[in-house]
Structure 1
Amino acid sequence: MQFSGKTIIITGAGKGIGRATAQLLAARGADIIAMSRTQSDLDSLRAEIGGRSIRVDLADVAATRAAMVEAGTSDFLVNSAGVNVLESVTGMTEAGYEAVLGINLRAALITSQEFARARIAAGGGGAIVNITSIASHRGFQDHLCYAASKAGLEGASRVLAKELGPHGIRVNCVAPTITLTELAVEAWSDPAKSAPMMVRHPLNRFAIAQEVAQSIALLLSDDGRMITGTVLPVDGGFLAV
């Protein structure tokens, strides 16, 4: 799974899974175009792996399209940008809905659309990986909009796979469990909170960002050339039991 000579756009590349994916794919030869809304994250990533960086707020539709145009034609796209606003069913707000659905779903559809247009104009081929969540498949407290956004992205990815397949463009999702990014380590450090969730994982642990990145690399690579329209759980068996 080497990516020498390949250009890969990664949204949400400044932190977490997006950053781990940028690091892994760059180490395997890819030229990374990193997108994030935080300039300091982009600067530190570029100092580490090189490539290009584009600062963009994906909540802004026009800015998202402009960023994709600036990025130009690439071989692959990884939609890693995501946010969550914890609100209950009765407590959901319009602002929370717009924030979560705007970035998690709408932005991913726009970047996928612009990527596909450029790939088709270049003769086709390529792949998209969208990062969803086990929250697409199980109901979690206060995750109403988040679950809707990730389940929506999985449904949309199947349509993308259907329509873009004839152009040689594959589209898949990875659905991670709790992934121990820097923020998540702090959030799940209390055993009283983590233990009830941990016991539902046959592997008896949560994921780390590098493991999700490795699954993304598989789906982008030629080793996954017959895989499209699928959701790959990276969940330590959570959804299986």
Structure 2
Amino acid sequence: MELGLAGRRALVTGAGKGIGRSTVQALHAAGAQVVAVSRTQADLDSLVRECPGINTVCVDLGDWEATEQALHGVGPVDLLVNNAAVAVLQPFLEITKEACDVSFDVNLRAVIQVSQIMAKSLIARGAPGAIVNVSSQASQRALANHGVYCSTKGAMDMLTKVMALELGPHKIRVNAVNPTVVMTPMGQANWSDPQKARAMLDRIPLGRFAEVGHVVDSILFLLSDRSGMITGSTLPVDGGFLAT
């Protein structure tokens, strides 16, 4: 299916690893002009070698002032993928202020800030656009030791709907993808215990975790005009987990 992404300009956060990195690679292969955002310069350097011609921004999205300054001059963007996230797993009775601060700063507040910057530019230009927020099945199901993470992703789902409501009149679509466990470095770190993984797999009708490509394909579809009548949705990429 031709998605018509060639020539569009896209910004991807959390672009250094995992889903974000693969999204940059797929957009680049589709002919899009990509701005890759990561807090790790070495990851951006290697990504440029793999995808010559992309632009990069190295910034910690948990820092509001630094993010504002870093993204101020990136130029017009048509498409945005809010993928950057952290997963600090703690039992509820042991949740710390630090875990709350870093998780909400990156997983939610940065989504608001980056989306504001991009949406204001689109509106000023009178241009249509599309935003995809990378959420999680954890936004809709309680998982042990995921109190803060589940909360940030639940908030992201509702933020997605409010953004779609308010930005729709400006021809800006906003959707979320909600993957199950994906075997990225973060996924491997949190789900490498076979007993823990088996308990999750037993709840997934298809009986397997997601591959990065499953999520990237969904992101690209929601960015494209092929999904031109879809906004405010949360798309499970979960093998049926949320259906059980």
Same fold (TM over 0.5): yes
- Alpha-carbon distance between aligned partners in 2 of 1:185 and 1:145, rounded to the nearest angstrom: 19
Q: Which structure 2 residues correspond to residues 4-19 of structure 1 after superposition, within 5 A?
A: 4-19=6-21
Partner of 2:58: 55
Partner of 2:218: 215
Q: Deviations over 1:130-161 (max 9, x none)?
A: 00111100101111111111111111111110
Partner of 2:29: 27
- Alpha-carbon distance between aligned partners in 1 of 2:189 and 2:97, rounded to the nearest angstrom: 28
Q: Does 2:42 match 1:40?
A: yes
Q: Does 2:151 match 1:144?
A: no
Q: Secondary structure at the match of 2:177?
A: strand
User: How large is the Cα RMSD of the aligned pairs?
Assistant: 1.1
Q: Deviations over 1:33-79 (max 9, x none)?
A: 00000000000111111210000000100111222212221010000
Partner of 1:85: 88
Given that 1:6 and 1:75 are in contact with CA atoms closer than 8 Å, whether structure 2 keeps it comes out as yes
Instruction: Report the alpha carbon displacement of residue 187 of structure 1 after superposing the two structures with TM.
Output: 4.5
Q: Which structure 2 residues correspond to residues 127-206 of structure 1 after superposition, within 5 A?
A: 127-185=130-188, 187-206=190-209
Q: Deviations over 1:158-208 (max 9, x none)?
A: 111011101100000001100011343464344322111111111111001
Letter in 2 for 1:90: L
In structure 2, the gaps of 5 or more residues are: none
Partner of 2:70: 67
- Alpha-carbon distance between aligned partners in 2 of 1:15 and 1:31, rounded to the nearest angstrom: 19
Instruction: Report the alpha carbon displacement of residue 12 of structure 1 after superposing the two structures with TM.
Output: 0.1
Letter in 1 for 2:18: G
Change in Cα spacing, 1:187 to 1:99, as seen in structure 2 (3 Å) is closer
Given that 1:127 and 1:169 are in contact with CA atoms closer than 8 Å, whether structure 2 keeps it comes out as yes
Change in Cα spacing, 1:58 to 1:163, as seen in structure 2 (3 Å) is same
Q: Secondary structure at the match of 2:117?
A: helix
Letter in 1 for 2:88: V
Given that 2:4 and 2:225 are in contact with CA atoms closer than 8 Å, whether structure 1 keeps it comes out as no
Partner of 2:232: 229
- Alpha-carbon distance between aligned partners in 1 of 2:214 and 2:26, rounded to the nearest angstrom: 10
- Alpha-carbon distance between aligned partners in 1 of 2:177 and 2:147, rounded to the nearest angstrom: 20
Letter in 2 for 1:142: N
Q: Does 2:243 match 1:240?
A: yes
TM-score scaled to structure 2, two decimals?
A: 0.96
In structure 1, the gaps of 5 or more residues are: none
- Alpha-carbon distance between aligned partners in 2 of 1:22 and 1:209, rounded to the nearest angstrom: 12
Change in Cα spacing, 1:238 to 1:190, as seen in structure 2 (3 Å) is same
Q: Deviations over 1:222-241 (max 9, x none)?
A: 11000000100100110011
Say how many residue pairs are matched: 241
Q: Secondary structure at the match of 2:175?
A: strand
- Alpha-carbon distance between aligned partners in 2 of 1:163 and 1:197, rounded to the nearest angstrom: 36
Q: What percentage of aligned pairs have identical amino acids?
A: 47
- Alpha-carbon distance between aligned partners in 2 of 1:162 and 1:222, rounded to the nearest angstrom: 18
